[in-house]
Structure 1
Amino acid sequence: MNGAKWWAATIAATVVVAGTVTTGVVVQYKHALTHQAPYKPIEPARGITALTDKGTTNNEALRSTVGALAQDPRLAGFAGTIVDATTGEVILEKDADKPLTPASATKMLTATAALYELGPDHRITTDVIKQDDHTVVIKAAGDVWLTDERLDQLAHKIKEQMPSVSAVLVDTSTWKGDKILGGWDPDDVNAGYVAPLEPIMLYGGRIGAKEGDVPRSQNPGLDVASALAQRLGAGTKGYTDSANGDVIATTESEALEKRIFQMMQHSDNVMAEAIGREIDAAQPVQATLRILSEHGITIGASEVADNSGLSLHNRITPALLAQIATKVATDPEVHSLILALPVAGGSGTLVDRYAELDGRGWVRAKTGTLTGVSALVGVVPSISGHIYSFGLISNGSEIPEARAALDTLASALRDA
């Protein structure tokens, strides 16, 4: 599918997503989260015929417009890069090589590298091993997307091979390194933003819920062993660092493409860290940056501490974010990431934004939010049919005000 036709198909999908009913996050500070009532469907975005025939656009006028918007005092410490992905022209470079705190915009690096390295159809297989006549070991492999239904199926398979099981152990040794990373707040687990990093979890380690920012378990791997033990009638559960024996049952995750969609829509930190370790279990951040570099993306002065953006040690340049957004817009290997990005006014973390802006239903972008940090990285098709990619970061700002200014800036690209 050529670029123009692919974009037409993508934006057609955008129209569909923009009309769905979802639940939106209003403001997510580092230790505060509030929710709105279910979102009402918006009107479908306007026609997409412009995407199949690229028209002319006045990028000089656009430079003037976005240059003025980039001076908005609500953005405080702002840096940004905007590129006409159709022509390669740079539209805005404001401190483009200055590394700032990106928050969850970091997830763009992780998702892009994963698609390059693993492909959209990659799945995680978790084996259950018969250690002795009455003991099974779950060989954790990085699947933090386990559900009750999949555990039920796994228990059924095990019972067919071993009618009597008295102990269920879990081997979490496949992931190396710390379970809580540098720059994470110790309260993040209880606040529901992340769980200690173990390579198997039921519903991302959530306690008493299947989704949302609810408190997470301190021992998510053990929780899986306990849940399986309950289904098997086993009284003993625990950790082990070895799994020797025959595989008697397996469970397989959904395809990477679908898991990335979930991660990006909900900005899920556990999923992002798991996908990073799916790339490389021992050195996920280093592998992520290496893969991006191998695909022509310049890392520059960026310093990355984790795969989710939760770490306060992350410093990423707008130039790097814009390069990734441009790759997503132009490289077929990572095109599918477009459909994972939240739609302005329509889905995910952008569901309650762009209420009166022209970018509503057209801008697709990953958000980033920490205390004093607002970021936006993504793409938007203009009325003329050009595709614009952008990486925008605001530090030291008030979140609602900075978000409004970023949304206005991105919407200006739609009008080009």
Structure 2
Amino acid sequence: MRGRVIAGVLTPILVLAGAAGYLAADAADLVPGWITTSPEPVAPAPFLTAEPVEASAAPGTELAPLFDPGAPLPDAARIQALAQALRDDPRTGPSTNVSVIDLITGQTLADLDADDGQVPASTTKLLTTIGVVAKLGPDHRLSTVARYDAARGEVALVAGGDMLLAADKGVPKTPDPGDTRTAAERAVGYAGLGDLADQVAAGLIQRGVTSVTVVADTSAFPGPAYPIEWPAYALQQGYAAPVTGLAIDVGKKNLDEEYPQRWADPAANAADEFAARLAERGITATRGKARVGATGDDVGRVESAPLSDVVAYMLHHSDNTVAEDLSRVLAIETGVPATPQHSMAAITASLVALGVDTSGLQLYDGAGFSTRNRIPPRVLTQAIRAAVQAGPTHDLLGWLAEAGLTGTLQNRFTSSPGTGVVRAKTGSLTGVTALAGVVITADGRPLAFAALIDGMPYGPERPQAAIDEFADGLAQCGCQP
């Protein structure tokens, strides 16, 4: 097992420990690496549309030749001391719980009440990602279907979980040479309602149909669309949208704002846009009421980017709506209702199937908004290790934000030992600060860590800085006896 972990997943982040010069060479494609300014060639994959689609590679690149398999294991007493120093820091407090394990062997290196469940905030998204991808696979795609009912004269836009749809044409499946976006960034708008309208209009015209009513069918996502565990301010301030399984740009009204207002009914907005796309193609389309259990013939289908790219987008942007949506997709795919209760049970069952001890785990939403969520730090580190050993989630580290470089860690670790050698998921709620992921020590040893702090009386800046310094300590630690 050790060789598999080393060669397949752990090595992508090690190259960054060398120097900024390697980063620049990597971006210019002069040396191996996951950073690039040029699109990767991708192989074609089957796709149920009029045009072929090409599957993009998951983030991450194998860099086994650059990894030293004999990197020494840090002394557990010294790692435990670093964890204790984090708890003793005046910026944190006694509610600071920590787990650090060796990613190769699973040996515990630090345990500060690591079995105690704490409010995890958005580190919950790590478990959602692992649970969903472990069960569905990294190549799974989310389908949006158009279904024509001749008796009703109706085309139903059937929700399949893709809330990243484009209002018109989707992302070109063969990237333009000037398109420097990552695969995760291209997941937004990968499938387009304009492409779906092309298929549907052609099929209707072939049948001699020139006028239809357009409806949305989100009955596979019974909800509640806006989880009762989520605070009202999240919707009001643009942190989340109702989870309808069907949306354009995650229900955002304005893409130029970081946290824009969301449509009250993202699925209805998608149906409005779809009707407009049909009208542009010569089909008179009026809007009808929502449909439950649409029947008829499937006359069009578009599919999302691979699930690996969707979760990479979700983790990098800490997207609450996509996280919750994917947990409900997992429920549907496992044959249970797409309700929060069933979705969280499906996540937990998937983790158990990976061999994770979920004792003490309590999940009420997949995004981490619920203050009733409880995740022991040990569950996070065990889940990370189990994920990188399993085939479907083998590339987990490639989906996580890189310290000082990307996602929610872009403005953290910008000039510190952790820069580029920490990959992690952040977490922040009122009184809660957390970080969980993987760090490479100065000796080249990969460690999984989770630090969760709750019950804090002030903002996140001070405990966040303390956690970052703890991760920096792990990064620069040879920590031999």
TM-score normalized by the length of structure 1: 0.88
Contact 2:218 2:244 in 1 (8 A): yes
Counterpart-to-counterpart distance in 2, 1:399 and 1:2: 37
Contact 1:181 1:311 in 2 (8 A): no
Tell me the alpha carbon deviations over residues 370-396 of structure 1, each in whole angstroms, 9 at most, x when there is no partner.
111111110012222211001111113
1:409 aligns with 2:441: no
Mean CA deviation greater in 392-401 or 234-243: 234-243
What do you get for the CA RMSD once the two structures are aligned? 2.3
Partner of 1:392, secondary structure, is: strand
1:105 aligns with 2:123: yes
Task: Give the 3 Å change call, closer, same or farther, for CA 50–91 of structure 1 in structure 2.
Answer: farther
Q: Which residue is equivalent to 1:42?
A: none
Shift of 1:143: 1.1
Unaligned stretches of 5+ residues in structure 2? 18-22, 28-33, 38-62, 170-191, 280-284
Partner of 1:74, secondary structure, is: coil
1:352 aligns with 2:394: no
Counterpart-to-counterpart distance in 1, 2:256 and 2:395: 26
Q: Which residue is equivalent to 1:56?
A: 72
Mean CA deviation greater in 172-181 or 367-376: 172-181
Contact 2:4 2:389 in 1 (8 A): no
Q: Which residue is equivalent to 2:4?
A: 2
Counterpart-to-counterpart distance in 2, 1:266 and 1:90: 30
In the TM superposition, 1:186-197 aligns within 5 A as: 186-197=232-243
Tell me the alpha carbon deviations over residues 40-59 of structure 1, each in whole angstroms, 9 at most, x when there is no partner.
xxxxxxx9977233222441
Partner of 2:461, secondary structure, is: helix
Shift of 1:250: 0.7
Mean CA deviation greater in 118-127 or 80-89: 80-89
Tell me the alpha carbon deviations over residues 204-241 of structure 1, each in whole angstroms, 9 at most, x when there is no partner.
11113277321111111100110011122223243111
Counterpart-to-counterpart distance in 2, 1:116 and 1:288: 10
Counterpart-to-counterpart distance in 2, 1:66 and 1:173: 47
Contact 1:66 1:412 in 2 (8 A): no
1:252 aligns with 2:303: yes
What amino acid does structure 2 have at the position aligned with 1:53?
P
Contact 1:266 1:349 in 2 (8 A): yes
Partner of 1:75, secondary structure, is: coil
Q: Which residue is equivalent to 1:39?
A: none
Q: Which residue is equivalent to 2:287?
A: 236
Shift of 1:144: 0.8
1:202 aligns with 2:248: yes
Tell me the alpha carbon deviations over residues 177-213 of structure 1, each in whole angstroms, 9 at most, x when there is no partner.
3122232112311211111121101111111327732
Task: Give the 3 Å change call, closer, same or farther, for CA 333–54 of structure 1 in structure 2.
Answer: farther
Counterpart-to-counterpart distance in 1, 2:258 and 2:145: 28
Q: Which residue is equivalent to 1:38?
A: none
Q: Which residue is equivalent to 1:317?
A: 376
What amino acid does structure 2 have at the position aligned with 1:382?
T
Counterpart-to-counterpart distance in 1, 2:388 and 2:354: 14
Contact 2:246 2:266 in 1 (8 A): yes
Contact 2:132 2:327 in 1 (8 A): yes
Task: Give the 3 Å change call, closer, same or farther, for CA 295–4 of structure 1 in structure 2.
Answer: closer
Matched positions, count: 391
Identity across aligned pairs (percent)? 29
Q: Which residue is equivalent to 2:185?
A: none
Tell me the alpha carbon deviations over residues 321-353 of structure 1, each in whole angstroms, 9 at most, x when there is no partner.
111122234434322111111111000000001
TM-score normalized by the length of structure 2: 0.77
In the TM superposition, 1:83-94 aligns within 5 A as: 83-94=101-112
Q: Which residue is equivalent to 1:172?
A: 218
Shift of 1:316: 1.3
1:124 aligns with 2:175: no
Counterpart-to-counterpart distance in 2, 1:368 and 1:160: 47
Shift of 1:302: 2.2
Which residue of the other structure, out of 371, 377, 395, is the alignment partner of 2:454? 395
Counterpart-to-counterpart distance in 1, 2:16 and 2:98: 28
Contact 2:162 2:304 in 1 (8 A): yes
Which residue of the other structure, out of 303, 310, 318, is the alignment partner of 1:267? 318
Counterpart-to-counterpart distance in 2, 1:210 and 1:271: 19
What amino acid does structure 2 have at the position aligned with 1:319?
R
Unaligned stretches of 5+ residues in structure 1? 22-46
Contact 2:405 2:414 in 1 (8 A): no
What amino acid does structure 2 have at the position aligned with 1:90?
T
Counterpart-to-counterpart distance in 1, 2:392 and 2:365: 24
Counterpart-to-counterpart distance in 2, 1:86 and 1:198: 40
